[in-house]
Amino acid sequence: MRLLLNGFGIVLTWYNVGLMMIGIVIGVIVGVLPGLGGPNGVAILLPLTFSMQPTSAIILLSCIYWGALFGGAITSILFNIPGEAWSVATTFDGYPMAQQGRAGEALTSAFTGSFVGALAGVLLITFVAPIIANFALRFGPPEFFSVYLLTFCSFIGTGKEDKAKIIISICIGLALAAVGMDTISGQLRMTFGQNLLLRGFDFLVVVIGLFGIGEILITMEEGLAFKGKNPDMDLKVVLKTWAQLPRYWLTLIRSAVVGCWLGVTPGGAIAASFMGYGLAKKFSRDPAAFGKGAIEGVIAPETAAHAAGTSALLPMLTLGIPGSGTAAVLLGGLMIWGLQPGPLLFVEHPDFVWGLIASMYLGNIAGLIVVLSTVPLFAAILRIPFSIIAPMILVACAVGAYTVHGTMFDVWMMLVFGIVGYFFKKLDYPLAPLVLALVLGDRAEDAFRQTMLGSRGDLGVFWSNGLVGTITTLALVILVWPFVSRLVTRWRQRPGAVDSNS
């Protein structure tokens, strides 16, 4: 508690509050515009923070993240176009509400739901993160490798895409991470005599390409035209909506819990928003109203998405494992600022950790105020034709990619990954595991090789004590679970199965 108050002290300087506001506004813009998502927006701005204090830098970047989470709802409700994948479920009821002239009500409840979800996530981090970090201090290389394994396995086990495609996605990320100088032996790997590849592939360039350029190409193909409703936001609508919200406390709590759970495991905000919506519909007294403009149908996915987006930072801070794509980019940022993510962060840099946590509270309050008061402004941005916005976003991407290392090679790489992103997205290869694997690749490999060095190549070390054994076994169970359950259903459906039962 004392540490948290200390954190508030760090955040509440004019400089940091200013950064927070700037971050929120940029974040909302990033969330509203297609082609500039959370991970991409943070990646473009990350190089600019290299010279800043790490605490100020993370405040700025995490506020962009909160802003992007808020911003996704605006386009979903007013334009029926999800600005972010996690706000797809918000369109189901948000847009019908806007069509009925209840846009203000929908936006207010979406933002308030988001705020409640985020608050649940921050509370979870405040109270649980120190415990997990303390626990994880005992982790050695085998434990860390088994946690990485668990992360990758749960992507494969719980992902809705084709399993082979998820594995390819993760492996491409790991392979890209391996390019360049090997940290242990100093040998050059997969550089093929090219000096430009010595440094390897920077995840920032890959993220800007995959998410930024790829998204713009897809948007061009779909030929988006923004024709939407005008928001009718004023204080009266806000207060009136707030008066109704306590009625939905159960939906709020349910979605917050689902969101927190899916955020900590790498299921992420996207799965959380759909699950929150589904649960709200299932338990609602009036399920038929869903899809036609039920206020609960807006609150549920937004609360869950925000809770997930926020609590995704919990494993990132305590174990060094990002729970979402944007968290992965933030994690990469930590390493660039010279901070080692993981349990030691809480011991060695308490100012940073608690400053960040304090900024989550304040950032979300600031975010709520900013979005409630400036929705018409952001809606106006969307009315700018895509033929101006698209080239400007591409310029921003190019600038972002160039500033990572100051080389033109990175800009070309961004283009290559943009085209890769276009194909991957259209063929249902998931992109988030690729980014996660790219960020974690070197750490996972180091943990594996250090373990192997210690055990002289005996894989049994991953079951050498209760802790590491449990995590490894859990990882393998999650990995094979979908295959087993498919086999079981097939076995039950085989002809003759009924006979043997009777």
Using alpha carbons, select from 150, 203, 166 the residue that is nearest to residue 431.
Answer: 166
Please select the residue that binds other proteins; options are 119, 124, 132, 217, rule is CB under 8 A: 217
Residues in the chain: 502
Residue 452 binds to other proteins (criterion: CB under 8 A): yes
Biggest alpha carbon–alpha carbon distance for the chain: 76
Shortest CB 333 distance to other proteins, Å: 16
Q: How far is CA 260 from CA 37, 272, 282, in A?
A: 21, 8, 20
How far apart CA 412 and CA 401 sit, in angstroms, is 9
Residue 380 binds to other proteins (criterion: CB under 8 A): no
Task: Kindly write out the interface string for residues 48-87 of this chain, putting x where it contacts other proteins by CB under 8 A and - elsewhere.
Answer: x--x------------------------------------
For 190-208, b/e burial (b = at least 16 CB within 10 A) is: ebeeeeebeebbbbbbbbb
Please select the residue that binds other proteins; options are 17, 85, 123, 168, rule is CB under 8 A: 168
Residue 392 binds to other proteins (criterion: CB under 8 A): yes
Site stretch for other proteins (CB under 8 A), options 195-203, 219-227, 242-250, 361-369: 219-227
Please select the residue that binds other proteins; options are 3, 171, 336, 474, rule is CB under 8 A: 171
Residue 381 binds to other proteins (criterion: CB under 8 A): no
How far apart CA 335 and CA 114 sit, in angstroms, is 29
Number of neighbouring beta carbons within 10 Å of residue 476? 16
Determine the size of the site formed for other proteins (CB under 8 A): 56
Shortest CB 418 distance to other proteins, Å: 8
How far apart CA 426 and CA 423 sit, in angstroms, is 5
Please select the residue that binds other proteins; options are 196, 380, 427, 487, rule is CB under 8 A: 427
Please select the residue that binds other proteins; options are 1, 2, 14, 192, rule is CB under 8 A: 192
Residue 221 binds to other proteins (criterion: CB under 8 A): yes
Residue 385 binds to other proteins (criterion: CB under 8 A): yes
Which H or E run includes 189? strand 188-189
Q: Which residues, at least 6 apart from 376, have a Cβ–Cβ distance to it below 8 Å?
A: 230, 231, 233
Which residues in 23-135 belong to E strands, given as ranges? none
Complex with other proteins: residue 240 or 486, whichever CB lies closer? 486
Complex with other proteins: residue 216 or 358, whichever CB lies closer? 216
3-class secondary-structure state, position 308: helix
Please select the residue that binds other proteins; options are 131, 164, 196, 498, rule is CB under 8 A: 164
How far apart CA 319 and CA 147 sit, in angstroms, is 8
Residue 390 binds to other proteins (criterion: CB under 8 A): yes
**Residues 143/149/153/155 CA torsion (nearest 10 deg):** 100
Residue 391 binds to other proteins (criterion: CB under 8 A): yes
Contacting positions for other proteins (CB under 8 A): 47-48, 51, 162, 164-165, 167-168, 171-172, 174-175, 178, 182, 184-185, 187, 189-190, 192, 213, 216-217, 220-223, 385, 387-388, 390-392, 394-395, 398-399, 402-403, 406, 408, 411-412, 415, 419, 422-423, 426-427, 445, 448-449, 452-453, 456-457
